[in-house]
Amino acid sequence: MGSIKRLTILPLLLILTLSGAGLSLADDHPSCAEAFQKGEIGGTIGSYFEFTDREAPDSNTAWATGYLSLKYETLEWKRFQWGAGLFAHGQLANDAANGTTNPFKTDVEDEVTFPEFYFNLRVAESSGIRVGRWDHRKISHFDDAQSEGAYVQFKEIEGLEVAAGFMTRFAEIDYDDGEDFGRGNDAQDLSSDAVYGAGSKAYLIFADAIYQATDTIKLNPYVIVQDGYAGVVGMDTHLDDTLEDHGVDFGGCLNYYHVDARKAGTSESDNWVLKSYVKKGPFKVSGGFAQFSDDDALNKPAWLRDYFVDVDQLLAYANAGCGVWFGKIKYSKDKFWTHVAFADYDYSTTALQGDGSLELELQFGYKFTKAIDANIRLFDVSYDNIDDKDYQKLEGRIRYRF
């Protein structure tokens, strides 16, 4: 693993060396004080609620929260930039039928979190280095939204973007979650032996590239390695085109990844998904099929759990031999949109999840103004050949962004 780590560090040193002259000639304006004073600040004030009606007796839950997110980023000063984010929850209501479950504390693990705190160094016209906590959704395939670590991003060649670096923890700040870095059992800290296995490294390294091969074809190869746990090599292939004479947009993707399992008791896996869509006017229809390996295969490394299937209320798609048919119909008109979606899972029988499940989803969204919008989601989830697992869930959110 030492040689791999050195390969990760070498690009950092090379870019810094090549950019040394540019750094010495960097423009002194704005001043350091002006960079902080004129930095950009934005955020969101919102409220979220959910109600879950479970088939199991005495297990229904309901709760609501108000939340605040803030993001501040300085102007660039001599190629340096600093940014920080805050996310805070406050409980508005909480009810559990059995009197013991606290759904607010289950979903909102930390009421005040700091999902972003980073430093940037621009080393060329569009390329740079980022260190700290940052939003990784545009530069990697990782689960959730935030990472802690560092990466180099190269964007000097038209049609090509490359990001490479390392990560020690990942976290999620999303619609209904307040995770900070690491759950209560530190499952999102890569140092957790309970999750990643004894002898696994407390960090992973990654490289992710996006190449616009033609006007219609985009390739996205990637590599993720956590020594002692898993190594992943994958490729996403996207095709998007338009029939201008008919006003139709269409396309799809074939995504594949191989897992080299290094955790005791697991074996390698090959997993793929084929998706397609057609859009005309206010309607968009999409769907596809995903397949995962059988037996004791490691299909879903912990840091890839939210990747692949669009409808993912469940973790069932990580089960051995899982095949998933899924689809969605979306209608958008002016400030209103709605969609209905399904995911039909068939997998090897397990004691906790039976041998299949069906998830139905209905969403409504409305944008009142440029800054204010609302969203409602309804789910119906049913399991095959197992009792007391089915549930229905209602979620809602309203927010003001500034």
**What pLDDT digit, counting tens, does each position of 353-376 carry?**
899 999 999 999 999 999 999 999
Q: What is the pLDDT of residue 185?
A: 64
Reported as a pLDDT band with limits 50, 70 and 90, residue 385 is: very high
Q: Average per-residue pLDDT in the chain?
A: 89
Are 286 and 328 in contact by the 8 Å Cβ rule? The answer is: yes
Beta strands (DSSP E) in 61-185 are: 61-73, 80-96, 112-122, 128-135, 146-154, 160-171
Give DSSP secondary structure letters for 149-192. Answer: EEEEEE--STTEEEEEEEEEEEE--BTTB---SS-TT-TTBTT-
Q: How far apart are CA 105 and CA 84, in angstroms?
A: 25
Q: Which residues contact 10 (CB under 8 A, 6 or more apart)?
A: none
11 pLDDT above the threshold of 60: no
**What pLDDT digit, counting tens, does each position of 298-355 carry?**
998 999 887 888 776 676 777 889 999 999 999 999 999 999 999 999 999 888 889 9
Q: How far apart are CA 62 and CA 91, in angstroms?
A: 12
Helix (H, G, I), strand (E, B) or coil at 388: coil
- pTM of the shown model: 0.86
Quote the tokens at residue 210. 């996006």
**What pLDDT digit, counting tens, does each position of 112-169 carry?**
989 999 999 999 999 999 999 999 988 999 887 899 999 999 999 999 999 999 999 9
Lowest mean per-residue pLDDT among 71-85, 262-276, 291-305, 314-328? 314-328
**What pLDDT digit, counting tens, does each position of 13-29 carry?**
444 444 444 444 444 57
Q: What is the pLDDT of residue 14?
A: 44
Quote the tokens at residue 108. 């909102």
- Look at phi and psi of residue 30 and say left if phi exceeds 0, alpha if psi is from -120 to 50, else beta: beta
* 107 vs 115 pLDDT, higher one: 115
Q: What percent of the chain has pLDDT over 70?
A: 90
Q: What is the pLDDT of residue 183?
A: 65
Lowest mean per-residue pLDDT among 42-56, 159-173, 245-259, 311-325? 311-325
**What pLDDT digit, counting tens, does each position of 220-238 carry?**
999 999 999 999 999 999 9
Lowest mean per-residue pLDDT among 5-9, 84-88, 200-204, 208-212? 5-9
Lowest mean per-residue pLDDT among 184-198, 210-224, 249-263? 184-198
Backbone angles phi, psi at 321, to 5 degrees: 65, 20
Candidates 3.40.50.1100, 1.10.290.10, 2.40.160.10, 2.40.50.140; CATH matching 213-402: 2.40.160.10
User: Which sequence spans correspond to the domains of the chain?
Assistant: 1-210, 213-402
Give DSSP secondary structure letters for 283-334. Answer: EEEEEEEEE---TTB--S-GGGTTSS-S--S-SGGGSTT-EEEEEEEEEEET
Q: What is the pLDDT of residue 6?
A: 43
